[in-house]
Amino acid sequence: MNLKNKKSIEKNQKGVTMIALIITIIVLLIIASISIGSALNSHETAAKNKLLTEVGMVQHAALERYTKQVTIGNEDFPGEEYTSKSEIEADIDKIKNDSKLSEILNNTTPEDYYFLDKNALKNLGVTVTEDSYIINYKLGIAINATVQVTEDGQPLYVYSKDSDD
């Protein structure tokens, strides 16, 4: 084998190595972008689940307080009582047009709703949230008045009974 052919083979081998390196980098970038996308989706799902869990926890605490009030009679309802439907709607402007929630609000009296800030929630026994809530103790309605909707547009409220009482 002559020297000229040997140098030609060495150049080709260096070229193949460079191409392999570039392909490897491209594959790694693709894998990284998929991983980052999955991580972002997981973060959004976790944030949504946190909000839904909190609203359920607040509802549970409200129902527990209502049950104590009905059975024992010496429990107060923390929070500031609403006096009109328009006050409630002003505090839930992002979700006031939700058909199920509108139906519930139309079939209940505003005086059954209370606005609970962080201190009122603490009085209710809920210490893990920074959000404010609107509560109907009798029906077990809990509405997140701070966030109101998840990132995908799901309203943040729960209720436990039909509003035909």
Please determine, for residue 107, whether its predicted confidence score (pLDDT) is greater than 50: yes
How far out from the chain centre does Cα 63 lie?
21
Q: Which pair of tokens denotes residue 97? A: 């047009």
| 1 located within any domain | no
Q: Is residue 12 helix, strand or coil?
A: helix
| 64 located within any domain | yes
Q: Model pTM greater than 0.75?
A: no
Model pLDDT, residue 16? 65
| 113 located within any domain | yes
Model pLDDT, residue 57? 93
| 39 located within any domain | no
Tell me how far apart the alpha carbons of residues 160 and 41 are, in angstroms, rounded to a whole number. 30
| 133 located within any domain | yes
Domain count, the chain: 1
Q: Which domain holds residue 56?
A: 49-158
> What would the mean pLDDT of 10-14 be, rounded to a whole number?
56
Please determine, for residue 39, whether its predicted confidence score (pLDDT) is greater than 80: no
* Sequence-ordered list of residues with C-beta below 8 angstroms from that of 113, at least 6 positions apart, any chain: 81, 82, 88, 134, 135, 136, 141
Q: Is residue 106 helix, strand or coil?
A: helix
Model pLDDT, residue 3? 58
| 83 located within any domain | yes
Would you place residue 7 in the very low, low, confident or very high pLDDT band (cuts 50, 70, 90)? low
> What would the mean pLDDT of 84-92 be, rounded to a whole number?
90
Spatial strand order of the sheet with 157-158 comes to 80-81, 113-116, 133-136, 141-144, 157-158
Model pLDDT, residue 54? 92
Please determine, for residue 44, whether its predicted confidence score (pLDDT) is greater than 60: yes
* Sequence-ordered list of residues with C-beta below 8 angstroms from that of 79, at least 6 positions apart, any chain: 114, 115, 116, 117, 120, 135
Q: E-strand spans in the chain?
A: 80-81, 113-116, 133-136, 141-144, 157-158
The per-residue pLDDT for range 111-165, each reduced to its tens digit, is: 999 999 999 999 989 988 889 999 999 888 999 999 998 888 888 888 875 434 4
Please determine, for residue 12, whether its predicted confidence score (pLDDT) is greater than 60: no
